[in-house]
Amino acid sequence: MTACQGMIKLVGIGADSFLDKTPHLILAVLWQICRLIQTKSIQLKDVPEIMRLAKEGEELEDLNKLPAEAILIRWMNFHLKAAGQKEITNLGKDLTDSRALLYLLNQLDKKECTLEAIDETDDLKRAENMIHQSTKIGVADVAGAGDIIKGNAKVNTIFVAEIFNTRHGL
């Protein structure tokens, strides 16, 4: 537990939580570890191009203070704006129909990631197509279509971070 101090929050979670096999507490720790691993390189020192996401009047240190989720939302909105699409405000319910993700992928690689499924009426089929499009540019299989349409912000954060880490397009 000492190795994790300062990196993840362990409020109410101790060695006994693991020894007692308390599922929700173990999952809370695992989620934080997964998030930490997936978002560790979403920062200015690793991707200086993130500075393009700064709002008017923001300084370098302002961007450094932002959590990875805020940077990912700005990043998606940067590409959605370029596609002439509506911005998102979160990585949960705003991604459930996969349309924003399809537009994002298309902005990152128009040749490999088409918009053929954008008018699909079935959210699950559209999400399946979007996942297929993402694999074409090397995005690892970290979430399924059923996961995306549920709108779970944690799962979507991992998936969007994987897209960013694969090809940020800045």
CATH classification of the domain holding 143: 1.10.418.10
Let me know if residue 57 belongs to a domain.
Answer: no
pLDDT for 121 equals 95
**76 part of a folded domain:** yes
DSSP for 16-48 reads HHHHTT-HHHHHHHHHHHHHHHHHTT-STTT-G
Residue 147 lies in a domain: yes
Phi-psi region of 133 (alpha: psi -120 to 50; beta: other; left: phi over 0): alpha
Residue 116 lies in a domain: yes
**Residue 60 belongs to a domain:** no
| Structural domain range at position 12 | 2-39
Do 17 and 74 fall within a single domain?
Answer: no
- Do 97 and 160 lie in one domain? The reply is yes
- Asked if the structure places residue 47 within a domain, the reply is no
147 vs 131: CA distance, rounded Å = 11
What is the pLDDT averaged over residues 144-164? Answer: 92
SS3 content of the chain, % helix, strand, coil (to 5): 60, 0, 40
Q: What is the tally of structural domains in the chain?
A: 2
Comparing 40 with 158, the larger pLDDT belongs to 158
Is position 53 within any domain?
A: no
User: Is the model's pLDDT at 125 over the cut of 50?
Assistant: yes
Q: Are residues 99 and 145 in the same domain?
A: yes
Residue 81: pLDDT band by 50, 70, 90 thresholds?
very high
pTM over 0.95: no
Based on the fold, state whether residues 79 and 13 are members of the same structural domain.
no
**pLDDT score at 4:** 47
What DSSP string runs through 43-63?
STTT-GGGGGGPPTT--HHHH
